[in-house]
Structure formats: C-alpha cells, structure tokens
Structure 1
C-alpha cells in the first residue's frame, strides 16, 4: 500500500493556516437543516435503512440523523479511494453493511460527491443485493465540470474543484473535526 504518512501537529497547523475557508460552520448547519427537511419530505413514510459511508461521513451522519424525525434503521459501510492521499484510487470495499438490503429503501450518507465512482459503486451493490429503492445524500458536491455516473438526491453544499477538508473530510488524516469546510490553496505532495 502506498499511503502518505499522517501529518505532524506542526504540518497540520500549517495546512489550516494556509487554507481558504469555503463554507463557514453556520453555512454547514443551515445546509444540514435544509437537507433534513428535504429528506423528511421524501422518506419519512418509508422507514429507510440509512447507511453511513465511513470514515468521511461520520460527522455528517452524526449531525444529520438527529434532525430526521421519523423511524429509520442505521448501519454503516466502508469503502476506500483515498487512503490519506490527495489523489483518488480504485474503490475498495472494506466493510459491507451488516443489515440486509433486500426490499429496503436505502439512504446512503457520504461526505463528498467528487467523481461519483464511490457512490455509484455503492448504489450498484445495493441494487444487486435487492434494495427496493436507493437514495443518496452528500454534504458536499465538488464542481468538477465533468460528467458523473450518479447524482445525489440530496446535496448540502457545493465546492470548487479543489481539495477540501473539514466536517468529516480529512487531509492526510487530519482536520476531520473542523466545523467548517476549507480548501487547499495549493496541492501539497501526493
């Protein structure tokens, strides 16, 4: 495995000091409430199985779920494309949902819709396993200018085609815990 090492404390601080704030914590909270309202309207009568894509969507899911005021089941899955690198790789399954997907309405929560390959892979697998319906919610959609194989049903915020971090998204393992969304001004080593 060709993974970049985790950042030192000093390196992480330098990255944040040189990053650009893209969406404030207030922007993120407003987007979460809007998304919750949209999801309630669409899925509140369907008792969906909500799947959190680990690790990136854990903060998003933790903030969104208490706003979904209807019965639901919850599980998670884990796929990897980045492994603390800045460039995406092949989608690799690490943990499949433990809940059965057959005849269920599925709502997948993911941190970011970039090229769409991860979310499309998850959708294909869910439908192969007999999901009745598939919905997806992403906190962030990156404006890449490229055609994506899937569009999210619920989108919180959009960001420019730059490396972003914060609110669950990391940079070399750091800064998932930020309440806002930041972007790199320049790319630092892969």
Structure 2
C-alpha cells in the first residue's frame, strides 16, 4: 500500500512555479547561442525533468548525467557517476536537476566534478529536498517541496527499480517485493 504525499495536481503546480523561477533567474544570463545547460540526473529525475523543461521559457540544452548510489534497497552505497564531456559544459550556466537531495553526498560529489568543468555558474533544482538528513553542505537553489525523513517513491523515484511509473510521490506503508 502506498500513502500519497504529493498528488499529481500538487506536483504540477509546483513544477510550474519552479519553471517560472528558473526562467526568471536565467533570462538575463542565457541566449540562443549560449543556452542554459540542464543536467537531469538519471534515472530518478527523468519524469520531473520532462515536465519541468517543457515549461521553462529560456533557451536551454539538455545533457544527461547518470549517478547511482542505491542498488537494490534503501541504503546508499558507493557513487557511480557518468557526466558529459567538459567541452559541452565549460563556460555555460549549468542547472543540475535532481529528484531528491537527501544527505547531499551524491549532489556534493556531482557538484565537485562539474565545478572542475569550468561552468559560468552551477545551481541545483530538486523536486524534493530533505535537509534534516544533510551531511554534506549542499544548497538547493530551486526546490519543489521540503520533506521529512521518509523514503519516497513515484514520479520517477524508485525502490529497486519499482514504482517509477506512479504519477504522484508516495511512501510505502509496507515494504513488500
């Protein structure tokens, strides 16, 4: 059984708000010839990114990156990171799109790697922010919702590759496979 924390409608409203904030922030900084480079973190942020990017009104380019720290459960393991070539990122304004920022370890490692690419700026947009669990200093510049310490699924987020297809963000009331 899944307890719904954020409905489809609540998420849609928040995504629209985030798109407006991002568009307003980057409008004076980017152009067609020098677009905002958006970096959705796969796999979790793909649904959020798809909905968000269709509402952003500034020129942008999408470069996917893959970061994985959860394997077959709810406990974080070692980080595996695959990022685009530096030539695609250097000198551009970069916006990292995350499904959730939890402890901050993953985001911190991604940021450190991306800073080495020489961006004009680097910021994070996350659908969910869980600051109560933060152990690495990470600032979420654009946030959809701040949540308590819960393991969430749906809207692209998973438990062992399950539940990504749910159109809402929920919490499992009982963990069964």
TM-score (norm. length: structure 2): 0.90
Instruction: Please tell me whether residue 153 in structure 1 is matched to residue 141 in structure 2.
Output: yes
Q: Kindly report the root-mean-square deviation, in angstroms, between the aligned alpha carbons of the 2 structures.
A: 1.7
**Contact map agreement 1:162 1:184 (CA 8 A) in 2:** no
2:84 counterpart (91, 94, 97): 97
2:21 counterpart (27, 38, 62): 38
Deviation at 1:146, TM superposition (A): 4.2
Alpha-carbon distance in 2 for matches of 1:112, 1:62: 15
Instruction: Please tell me whether residue 129 in structure 1 is matched to residue 117 in structure 2.
Output: yes
1:115 counterpart (93, 103, 119): 103
Aligned to 1:168: 156
What does the per-residue CA deviation read over 1:83-125, in whole Å, with 9 as the maximum and x for residues that have no partner?
Answer: 23211112221x2114521111100111001001111111111
Deviation at 1:158, TM superposition (A): 2.0
Alpha-carbon distance in 1 for matches of 2:72, 2:63: 24
Alpha-carbon distance in 1 for matches of 2:176, 2:135: 26
Give unpaired runs (5+ residues) of structure 2: none
Alpha-carbon distance in 2 for matches of 1:62, 1:82: 22
TM-score (norm. length: structure 1): 0.84
> Match of 2:88, SS?
coil
Deviation at 1:58, TM superposition (A): 0.4
Deviation at 1:28, TM superposition (A): 0.5
Alpha-carbon distance in 1 for matches of 2:174, 2:130: 17
Alpha-carbon distance in 1 for matches of 2:175, 2:78: 21
Report how many residues are paired: 171
Change (3 A) 1:149 1:188: farther
Give unpaired runs (5+ residues) of structure 1: 1-17
